[in-house]
Structure 1
């Protein structure tokens, strides 16, 4: 029987007032009578309320039902068997040493790497000289505040320092698009499913002893797979799921978004000029996936939309689609084998929620091959604008009418649009260096003497003696000491790779590496800490656009 609310507390209060005035036999008969009146489950309930063993309550019931005067003596106060912890004071510490965390317990315990059931704990305690049974072990653990616990999925990995800032930025972008009447969608790939008579987790109501029979073993290599790619419209509370049958690639992801836009989006948002996509940082729609960006640029050209993508920071799982769409789909088909793609489509299309969620599902039998490589020139020619805040996570694709001119061969450090090359003054901009120009100038004046002294020491060691020519003569270094300091600061800002810095300073990545190796110890010796930037640049064009004073070019993406 279930425990009616409050009955155990009422019995406990009654026993607390009555039992101290009765002898042992009377107490046994009193609790036995209460258990009989409660019916099935009464013994366990009364034992918990009175604080005695269930066997004691059962004995009282048996004595009442025997019809005879109960035999046995009435013990004096303090009689009877003592608790195991009173007889063996070392039992409780020995038990805690086995079950507490490894750093507090015995590192040599034979139970360290095995399941700590009450039976195994009792056996180990008995081996140590503490004779005890499994039931006593369970009671002691409950007294110490222990209970059976499963693993809890709460650790998301190391948090990025800009994690919260990225969530705020993403929410601001979503709010701005929603207020303007533009669509905001959340996209992701759901877990791949096996098609056939395979077990699906969960339970479903069926006639007793008539479960759905499925294969004993799953052989993923032989089974047909289904790849659900979901699109969740946050404003309309609607879902779109495309079931792929080939590979989970960037082309498949963008094709799913194209299907949604052509069938639903362009009708529901006929006046839209922008589209915001929120996505995880990895997988087919990851921020490092070149195919994802290439196909999105094609989609922007086809639809005439400005497509902005905001990725969740690494190590997080707060994408709306997972909580508002995928969870309901999983609950809807729980305990039901997905025997065919048609069954899967019907289960997804029938998914609803109390908040009015509706879902559409389609099958995509197209082939999406893997292993397609996209070169640097193709990426550099994309009509993409990286936002000032974390341009690797936040970027916008422009439609065809905003596409920049074709990629042309250019000099190092010169933007592709033919504008003036970036100057040293541009590269000293506070947005790039992370410090005011005056502070940069003062730091350069301090470090140049130390850098020149270090350079002279290195060359003295290489020559094995003093100079043979006068200072200032001979081959000039590729980078001046001031340039070496500036390029090291830009490198430590982590917004440019050595290859790009080589283009900006008309030198090679190897020269940049040597400069960083020489200057970094001087910065550390002077306690100069260079904070990492949130911007990311891949080409001189990115740097030029970042420093462009024309705010009209920056406004749509910030």
Structure 2
């Protein structure tokens, strides 16, 4: 019979209200029930009104006619129904997938994905290549079911752990508690990463109008290797939860680090802790505040003398700088505050740091420090030994206290006072500007400096041009200037070329590193050679700063460091040859020996001597004649190498080198002497075996 329109409307209303609340099986059976009630044509009519498939409705009719039992609560299909999973269809799929994603140290070393990104698409492609049909979605599901997830690298490896690592952590914790309990200030210090200034990309995102991101350079190297930089050095007060950051523009040196601490103390520390008598600093083991740096300790000693505070420093063990409080209580918040914002100028850096706050109450003060902090500054041994530094009984290398004044009551000898204090380089240079040392008067040295001034400036500009890779981008500033003027460089070069003292002595007196003295002397030596200026060596030779200072003040030359050899060592009883024969041997080997030494130095240099360098090195520890004598005695087995080293007042390696240099020459001449009847084990026994008188002489024989 025909179905009326009203019946169809009622059916549509029921479906609209009921079907959304039923699951898949219930909807199918409900539609089948209505189709059976409508009779012939009911399946098509119900499917059209409900928007379902006729096959779905017909399947429900078959289930009702078959009298299928109701399913358990919560089930839609009978057990075993539905499509089989991928791992059931292919039992080898999961092992093959796990073999591809295993860590490299455990997986197949020949895996095609060992050196590429293991994305879901690449994993699915590789499994398909192996004959296993699988989609990237299924790969992701199988990985999650087996405990895999996307993970980034975890920065947890700290290298070889120091055996005192945990003990040092406990000691720092005890020191912090003691200082805070006594109301003394405790600060954490460190330098933040140097930032290049300019329209450069910065990690992170910031809210901006849609489609209007900040335009930045594609690569940071467009600004050049010598672009402007900002060097933040921070001080974090653990108790007050406040930070102080100085933004430097020159170099991250120990002087810059202590200058930041000094500024914090003058502006905040002395106000927050008016009754303080001590200061505890926690710092990492490297950088400008390294426990190895003499400059760090010397600058802190000067700060202790200025403030009257006993400054205690506790360093974290190497490779544990992330445990320093300033890292995650100050620097991390600064980084988050300027995320996604290009650091275009020092003003932007300072203002961004100063505006850093947290809900826990962190406040930061930032300032720009434009003062120069040149590199190459060193601290002499004498000054270091004079510091009022007291190592702690517990790991004194990492834990020490710098007192405001010497604690032992010891006084420094007047003649070495200038060596134990911070030197005034101008005063030291004036002391070195002595005609007896330079070979010329002050007026002559000034005239020479004026003559070479233009060439020196041109040489410096050329060197800076090579370092920059192009012309200047801005006017020359105060920072980056050399420690020595052109005249100073000429003075130091004259002292070196005249062989007055080694570069080491000059560096120690002026408290600079060898990397400052060496290039200055080398560059000036080339200029002197280009202008045909010869420098004659002098007979003066000072191996220690105190010797040179004493000579300038008193005119007294230092005593010989090594006494002359006993004349009995040349006795025929020991050498097996007459004194005249020994002298003839020395003369015969002199030229070849000098050529052999020069050949070895040529190999060490990798080429000929550079123009303007010295014609030779300082006097060897033993002369060429003494090297021949030592080789002859060693050749005859008169005594051991240790006895020769004692007699010649040198170390054992020097005797060995002398024998290795002279032995090939003796072999070329067919030189051979019978061995001595007795091999002496002590110097006293050897000298006592010679009947000759033991009187020192300046000549070899």
TM normalised by structure 1 equals 0.61
- Determine whether 1:359 maps to 2:369: no
Instruction: Look up the SS of the partner of 2:87 in the other structure.
Output: helix
Q: Output aligned runs, 1:311-460, within 5 Å.
A: 311-316=315-320, 317-400=322-405, 402=407, 405-407=410-412
TM-superposed CA distance for 1:270, in Å, is 2.1
After superposition, give the CA deviation of every residue in 1:403-436 in whole Å (9 maximum; x if it has no partner).
7535569xxxxxxxxxxxxxxxxxxxxxxxxxxx
- Determine whether 1:22 maps to 2:25: yes
Q: 1:203 to 1:248 in 2, by over 3 A?
A: same
Aligned to 2:275: 271
Aligned to 1:144: 146
Aligned to 1:180: 182
- Determine whether 1:289 maps to 2:293: yes
Distance in 2 separating the partners of 1:372 and 1:233: 29
Q: 1:64 to 1:82 in 2, by over 3 A?
A: farther
Tell me if the contact between 1:383 and 1:404 (Cα under 8 Å) persists in the aligned partners: no
Q: Output aligned runs, 1:224-235, within 5 Å.
A: 224-235=228-239
Distance in 1 separating the partners of 2:29 and 2:273: 77
Q: 1:334 to 1:183 in 2, by over 3 A?
A: same
Q: Larger RCO: Structure 1 or Structure 2 (Cα < 8 Å, ≥ 6 residues apart)?
A: 1
Distance in 2 separating the partners of 1:81 and 1:274: 76
TM-superposed CA distance for 1:181, in Å, is 2.3
- Determine whether 1:251 maps to 2:261: no
Question: If you compute each CA radius of gyration, which structure gives the higher value, 1 or 2?
Answer: 2
TM-superposed CA distance for 1:311, in Å, is 0.5
TM-superposed CA distance for 1:400, in Å, is 2.9
Distance in 2 separating the partners of 1:27 and 1:100: 48
Instruction: Look up the SS of the partner of 1:362 in the other structure.
Output: strand
- Determine whether 1:67 maps to 2:51: yes
Where structure 2 has 5 or more consecutive residues not aligned to the other structure, the ranges are: 1-21, 32-46, 60-76, 415-633, 654-701
Aligned to 1:154: 156
Q: Output aligned runs, 1:21-170, within 5 Å.
A: 22=25, 26=28, 67-71=51-55, 74=59, 81-170=83-172
Q: 1:89 to 1:335 in 2, by over 3 A?
A: same
Tell me if the contact between 2:387 and 2:406 (Cα under 8 Å) persists in the aligned partners: no
Tell me if the contact between 1:381 and 1:406 (Cα under 8 Å) persists in the aligned partners: no
TM-superposed CA distance for 1:374, in Å, is 2.4
Aligned to 1:202: 204
Distance in 2 separating the partners of 1:118 and 1:27: 40
The worse-fitting range, judged by mean Cα deviation, of 323-332 and 79-88 is 79-88
The worse-fitting range, judged by mean Cα deviation, of 151-160 and 292-301 is 151-160
Tell me if the contact between 1:243 and 1:363 (Cα under 8 Å) persists in the aligned partners: yes
Aligned to 2:492: none
Distance in 2 separating the partners of 1:85 and 1:202: 42
Where structure 1 has 5 or more consecutive residues not aligned to the other structure, the ranges are: 1-17, 30-62, 410-462, 469-473, 479-506, 512-558
Q: 1:26 to 1:245 in 2, by over 3 A?
A: farther
TM-superposed CA distance for 1:285, in Å, is 0.2
Tell me if the contact between 1:240 and 1:359 (Cα under 8 Å) persists in the aligned partners: yes
TM-superposed CA distance for 1:28, in Å, is 13
TM-superposed CA distance for 1:377, in Å, is 2.2
Aligned to 2:598: none
